[in-house]
Structures are given as structure tokens and as C-alpha cells.
Amino acid sequence: MGKFEGKVVIITGAAGGIGQVTAKKLAEQGAKLALVDLKLEAVQQVMAELGLNDSNAIALQANVAKEEEVKAYVDATVAKFGRIDGFFNNAGIEGITANVEDYPTETFEMVLNVNVKGVFFGLKYVVPVMKKQGYGSIVNTSSGAGLIGSPGFVGYNSSKHAVIGMTRVVALETAPHGVRVNAVAPGVINTRMMRQIEKNTVPEDAEGAKQAFSAAVPMGRYGEAEEVANVALFLLSDDASYVTQSIYTVDGGQMNQ
């Protein structure tokens, strides 16, 4: 039996690089999954690729920046499976690269709506379910950008700092109820988001931007989505039963230089 046999886990951003790999690993360990993303067809495709069906998974469409849609995916998960044991609060967007005076207000608001409100709404509606159960593990996706400053990323960095703040607050609020709340803070990971950040940073030489990002990592390379998923699975599992309010960097040593 897998470590997640019979456990119910929600993953937001489930059609993205890290979300999809995490879903695969959880499914292999016997989890029942609620897969949430902005496009229903994308999560339905993930289900098909992983060989999941209506008995062990549900595909859900939601814009995490809209409270009523977050409540709906939580309610649908409980209606389907009766409980929520794990929550990978993972959906996020990168925004653009620009200095603060050139950063469009509407883009700043969009990034905060998804990356901050989306995480907040997820916590707001999942926590009561877990508190009632007396059990649960939540992993929020922050970023190495939530721990440092990065010129040109005022929207993204601000949002990921906020995720760390929410993680620490809600971990303290829920600890007496048997609920753990932690965060992963990936560095440069080989996903679609980094392809876009490379293009945003140096439009005329995205490959050069990638090389520069890699050179800034002590391990000298990008991380892979699987390496983030492995840490998320540990935090979601009972192996981390005495771990809460922690921020786990997955960054090849970059943030601790």
C-alpha cells in the first residue's frame, strides 16, 4: 500500500508542470485526487494521461482568484470523497518583468489576485474541513522570490512573500486542531513559467537568460518539477507529522548563499 492510500488530496494548478508531476506521484501512492485548474480540458487530459477515473479522481475548473469558484471546488471535493486530507495550494502566475515605475497596475493586481487571494481563499475554505476532521496537511507554493528581492519582479515577489506570511499565520491557527501548514519555495525550475520568465527578462536572448539564471545556482542547474513534488509529498505525508510552519526551499542552494 502507498503512503497516500485512500487519502484525498486537492491540487490547484494541477495542469502545470509541478502540479501535474505531484498528481502523478500522489496517484502512484494511492491518493484520491481533486485536480483543479483554470481550464477543465487541461485537467481532464491530466486525468487521462495518469490513468485516473471517476472512482479515484475528479477534474474541476476554477479561477482561484474568485472566491465562489474556490468554495465550489472545495464543496465538490467533499461531496465526492467526504473529506480532504491534503491540499497542495499551488496555482500561481508570474506576471511580467519591469521596474516598479513601469509595472502596470492592472498586472500587479492580477498577480496578487491569483497568487495571494487564490491561496487565501483556498485556506479559508479547506481549513474548516480539516479542523472538523481533526487532521490535515496543507502545502502552499511560495517561491525563492518570497525570501529575497528580485529587480523587475515587484508583483511576483510581493505575492510570494505574502504566501509565506499566510503559511506562518495559518500554521499557528490550525496547529491545535491537528492540521499542519507548510510551504515549498522553489527556485529556478524547468517549467513553462521559467520559459516565460526567461523571455520576459531578456526578450532578445532567452537562452542567455537561462544560462545566467543557472549560473546563479550553486548546483549550476535548474531544478526539475519532480524535485519540488518530492518535497511537497513529504510535507503532505505523515512522515512530516511534526512539521508545521516551515518553509522548504527547493533551489539548489541559491537562497542561502
Q: Where are the alpha helices (DSSP H) in the chain?
A: 17-28, 40-49, 67-81, 105-112, 118-133, 154-174, 192-201, 206-215, 225-236
Q: CA–CA distance from 248 to each of 10, 137, 143, 154, 168 (Å)?
A: 20, 15, 9, 22, 12
Catalytic residue, candidates 156, 222, 242, 248: 156
Does the annotation mark 156 as catalytic? yes
Question: What proportions of the chain, in percent to the nearest 5, are helix, strand and coil?
Answer: 50, 15, 30
Q: Strands 247-250, 32-37: parallel, antiparallel or unpaired by DSSP?
A: unpaired
Q: Which three cell numbers stand for residue 56?
A: 479515484
Distance CA 228, CA 251 (A): 9
3-class DSSP assignment, residue 63: coil
- Give the three cell numbers for residue 204: 532578445
- Cell 528581492 identifies what position? 149
- Active-site amino acid positions: 156
